Amino acid sequence: MCFVCGQQNPVGLRLDFYEDSKTGWVRAEFSLPAEYQGYPGVVHGGIVAAILDETASRVVMVGGDEDNFMATLRLSVRYRRPTPTETPLLAVGCLERMGGLGARVSGEIRLSDGTVTAECDATLGKLPETFRERWEEEKSDWRVYE
């Protein structure tokens, strides 16, 4: 039921995330309908932030490490230009640094010509075991595809 990736969420975005074998990044191609706009023809900033958050956090799962699930501790978003609705978009995320109990990651949303509409930096942290047990039943929806 995740808002960004949950395939059974009737109001969710239903994004699928793929590992880019050339770069080691995570990517998702999508287009958002007008129902997700803030201003006419522009994706709501909160939706943009949610997509960046989800994209960046998937990077720690690259290489098939789906048990390396982490939660966002800090997210900084920079809106470079309006992100249009009804337009092909690409979200990418990359690992900046992994270590200890967490990771530093970054992400971008791009137009088809490569123009960046928004970007983020995030700090992720490992989750307590009690949370991971509750997550198990939805684990299959949180995968990163090869």
Domains of the chain: 17-136 (3.10.129.10)
Is the CB of residue 20 less than 8 Å from the CB of residue 86?
A: no
* Of residues 135 and 126, more confidently modeled: 126
**What's the pLDDT score for residue 18?**
94
Q: What is the pLDDT of residues 96-133, one digit of tens each?
A: 998 888 999 999 999 999 999 999 999 999 888 777 66
**DSSP classification of residue 61:** G
pLDDT average, residue stretch 60-78: 84
Look at 9-23, 33-47, 58-72, 113-127 and tell me which has the smallest mean pLDDT. 58-72
What's the one-letter identity of residue 11? V
Is the CB of residue 36 less than 8 Å from the CB of residue 43?
A: yes
Pairing of strands 102-111, 144-145: unpaired
